[in-house]
């Protein structure tokens, strides 16, 4: 119940911040939409993720299938597997100098060429395992609820036509950006790190790449060369944690 009230409160606060532009019906609709966001089903979250990912793809430069980046990712994806807890995984490379990677609840997994330039295949495997962890552990689902609540509260979208049909292309793109820049808690990040370690071990992939990926990211901290640091704990501490797991064999 607390969770539902918090989404309604978010809707009301957002609407009231521009109250001169809202009438009573809009305020009520906004609150209803935010309540709906708090109770999104898994299917609805995947629907929104699918549409958001499609919009993100349409705005990105995607590495062609015959490129070195795509061939590398094909090898990496074969090692990691073709699903996240039963959800089919879909991998692509965005051609951008940014150092980043992310995954959505529908199995959409994207890695930026800037990150691939920085890291070995084994290190990219570790990073993508972490992003897959956010999906598998439900973190991405919660992030979608929060992102959708904020969008619904501001736009007071109509309820007809299904969840994704309520939003324009620009709003779907904005929703995707919110997910890419989601503020995960330190505990969620640590859980995703552990998920990646366990996945790598299960798939007979050397977990050392997870350590060295963090060590490389640690060197970039404070330089603003990577967007992966906005919400993540200190990379060196994360590397040390994985080192301990490797040493313990657990």
Q: Looking at the predicted structure, is the pLDDT value of residue 132 above 80?
A: yes
Among candidates 57, 105, 107, which has minimal Cα distance to 82? 107
Cβ burial 218-228 (10 Å sphere, 16+ → b, else e):
beeeeeebbeb
CA 79 to chain centre: 21
Range with the lowest mean pLDDT among 79-88, 187-196, 223-232?
A: 223-232
Reading the block at residue 27, the tokens are: 């305020």
Catalytic residue of the set 50, 125, 131, 189: 131
In degrees and rounded to multiples of 5, residue 219 shows phi and psi of: -70, -20
Q: Looking at the predicted structure, is the pLDDT value of residue 27 above 60?
A: no
Range with the lowest mean pLDDT among 113-127, 154-168, 171-185, 229-243?
A: 154-168
At 22 the pLDDT is 38
Span 137-165, mean pLDDT?
70
User: 167 to each of 40, 88, 159, 179, how far by Cα in Å?
Assistant: 15, 25, 10, 15
Q: Which residue has the higher pLDDT, 4 or 196?
A: 196
Range with the lowest mean pLDDT among 59-63, 148-152, 193-197, 207-211?
A: 148-152
Which residue in the block uniquely carries the two structure tokens 């290190």? 123
**Residue 243: burial class (beta carbons within 10 Å; 0-12, 13-18, 19+):** middle
At 166 the pLDDT is 63
Mean pLDDT computed over every residue of the chain = 81
Active site residue 221: no
């Amino acid at each position: 119940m607390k969770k539902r009230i918090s989404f309604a409160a978010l809707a009301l606060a957002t609407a009231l911040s521009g109250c001169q532009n809202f009438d009573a019906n809009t305020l009520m609709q906004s609150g209803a939409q935010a309540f709906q966001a708090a109770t999104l089903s898994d299917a609805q979250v995947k629907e929104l993720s699918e549409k958001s990912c499609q919009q993100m793809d349409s705005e990105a430069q995607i590495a062609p299938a015959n490129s070195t980046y795509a061939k590398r990712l094909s090898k990496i994806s074969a090692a990691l597997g073709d699903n996240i807890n039963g959800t089919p995984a879909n991998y692509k490379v965005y051609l951008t100098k940014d150092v980043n990677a992310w995954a959505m609840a529908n199995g959409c997994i994207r890695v930026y060429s800037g990150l691939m330039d920085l890291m070995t295949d084994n290190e990219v495997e570790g990073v993508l395992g972490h992003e897959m962890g956010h999906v598998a552990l439900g973190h991405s689902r919660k992030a979608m609820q929060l992102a959708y609540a904020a969008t619904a509260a501001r736009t007071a979208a109509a309820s007809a036509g299904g969840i994704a049909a309520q939003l324009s292309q620009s709003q779907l793109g904005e929703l995707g950006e919110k997910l890419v820049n989601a503020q995960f808690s330190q505990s969620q990040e640590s859980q995703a790190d552990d998920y990646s370690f366990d996945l790598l071990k299960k798939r007979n992939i050397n977990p050392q790449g997870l350590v060295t990926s963090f060590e490389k990211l640690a060197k970039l901290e404070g330089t603003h060369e990577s967007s992966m640091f906005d919400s993540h704990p200190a990379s060196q501490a994360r590397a040390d944690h994985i080192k301990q797991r490797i040493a313990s064999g657990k």
